[in-house]
Structure 1
Amino acid sequence: MTPERDPPFRPMAVLLPLRPREPEPLPRVTTRHGLLFVTAVLLIATVAHAQAPDAPAAAPAAEALTQAPATALTVIIKWLPLLMKGFLFNILISVLAMALGTVAGLMLGLAQISQHRWLRQFAWVTTQFFRNAPWLVLLFFAMFMIPYQFTVFGYVIPFPDWVKAIIGFGLPVMANVAELLRGAIRSIPNGQWEAAESLAFSRNKTLWLIILPQCVKRMLPPWMNLYSLITMATVMANLVGVSEMLTLTAEVHAAEGGRPELLAPLYGFAMLCFFIYCWPIDRATQYLERRFHVKT
């Protein structure tokens, strides 16, 4: 009998641990996109100018020059100070609404994690109501529910429309900031609460000295994105009689005789102003998202 031979050694396949796949980066707005946007606006203005009515052919040359309508670029340059004044008013409304909503939202967000059950429920209901309500409805609500003036100790204090517009835009900001704060606090690992408790920190000290400073990095990028949305939404104030840029654009168009070829250049200029203002904010938001990338 021949001796049995051992089978040849064959190494077994070893399953390596799966390497976590990093999420694919989202497309970013670059300088090329900005140039394409500006080119599109200029192209629209050129097409609108080409559609302008020509001067009568039978009229003399001098009379045709005097009766020739002004070009879109000439109209924009002529009314530029007024249009920019309206745009700065949009920025003022957005900044004040963001400041008011942020302060109120931080208090509302802290109320959502309160130890008092009735306060948590009230804050949750308030946040969900204003967060899911249409912004235009909230704006109308602030316009028609808030009095136009207040009487304090015999003195009449007027309450102009633009102040009520700030309150109307501040309500959704308040709800969204409250939700941002609640989510940021919940994203902090529970081990930090337990470690602070083992060091005899009270709940308030843990919250203000340990938890909230870490929430700043988590909240800042979406907070800036929310400000961009509020800035672009301020054009809705023209529906309630506030003289912002869109209202002044319509008045300029009416002052120029309501020429249809001026609609696209005038409103395109307004769109360009908002794009130039909000685009750097978007770039800064993307930078902070990469800079403050935190792992929960």
Structure 2
Amino acid sequence: MLAVIEREIAHGRHHATLNALITWAPALGKSLWVNIEISLLASALGTLAGLVLGPLLLSPLRIVRVVTRGYVQVFRNAPLLVLIYFSTYVFPFEIAIGHQTLPFPDWFKVTLGLALPASANFAEIFRGAIQSIPHAQWDAARSLAFSRTQVFRWIILPQCVKRMLPPWMNLYASITMATALASLVGVHDLLDTAQVASNTVARADFTVVVYFVVLGLFFAYCYPIARLTRFIEKRYAFS
């Protein structure tokens, strides 16, 4: 009799946990998009900055190389959490433009905090791609009266794209996973929603389940990127 009662209690707990998870599933799914949007914008900003910084690492001017290298080394080796706190508290909460005051939201500060190391890492990726092009191609293009800018734009850059794509995708996946740190500075993202759900339901079994769901959602988003990266690496390995 006691065993039957225990089974019924356990069944009731599992049913309550499942109901709570179903209730919170839409909020969890919606908040995942916050992480995705931050990762996409941070990657875009970092890529644009990296496209400028990468060639500067190979500049014929020593002072330009030294300054750019310093930027890259600082932000490549700085802890992400430190950069997120840095961007959160250094930038103002609002910006005055003329007679108008525009808010400077926390999610955008986190985006900038993640874009800084992204730009440094992508600059290194770009530099490596440029240096992987045989120098004979530069010489051949110059012999045809191409300027340095024309050589870079029409000959070198197209070849760099396929070399940069796999490491760029790995970098994007890393940035996506790092967006979970946004909850520490008040951004209402996936992890923050899971914490709210856990505190609201206040059940240990639900807390375990909801964090497994968070882990599963990040995995479901990043794993296809990893598989696609492997596919592209194999495809371009023979090109």
| TM-score grouping bracket, smaller chain normalisation | over 0.9
With the length of structure 2 as denominator, give the TM-score of the two structures.
0.92
CA RMSD, aligned part only? Answer: 2.1
Residue 263, structure 1, aligned to residue 223, structure 2: no
Name the stretch that deviates more: 155-164 or 109-118.
109-118
Name the CA distance, whole Å, in 2 between partners of 1:98 and 1:237: 15
Who is 1:274 aligned against? 218
Q: CA 1:294–1:200 in structure 2 vs 1: closer, same or farther (change >3 Å)?
A: farther
Aligned length, in residue pairs:
234
Matched position secondary structure for 1:71: helix
Between the two proteins, what is the percent identity of the paired residues?
Answer: 46
User: 5 Å matches for 1:1-296?
Assistant: 54=9, 70-256=15-201, 258-293=202-237
Matched position secondary structure for 2:9: coil
Name the CA distance, whole Å, in 2 between partners of 1:202 and 1:294: 30
Name the CA distance, whole Å, in 1 between partners of 2:144 and 2:73: 36
1:199 deviates by 1.4
Amino acid paired to 2:218: F
Q: Deviations over 1:131-163 (max 9, x none)?
A: 111111111110011111111112111101001
Matched position secondary structure for 1:147: coil
| Greater fraction helix | 2
**Runs of at least 4 residues of structure 1 off by over 4 A?**
none
1:198 deviates by 1.4
Greater C-alpha radius of gyration = 1
Unpaired runs of 5+ residues, structure 1, are 1-50, 56-64
Amino acid paired to 2:89: F
1:52–1:261 contact (8 Å) kept in structure 2: no
Name the CA distance, whole Å, in 2 between partners of 1:291 and 1:52: 54
2:21–2:206 contact (8 Å) kept in structure 1: no
Name the CA distance, whole Å, in 2 between partners of 1:141 and 1:217: 34
Q: Deviations over 1:177-200 (max 9, x none)?
A: 000000110111111111112112
Name the CA distance, whole Å, in 2 between partners of 1:73 and 1:247: 20
1:221–1:285 contact (8 Å) kept in structure 2: yes
1:115 deviates by 2.7
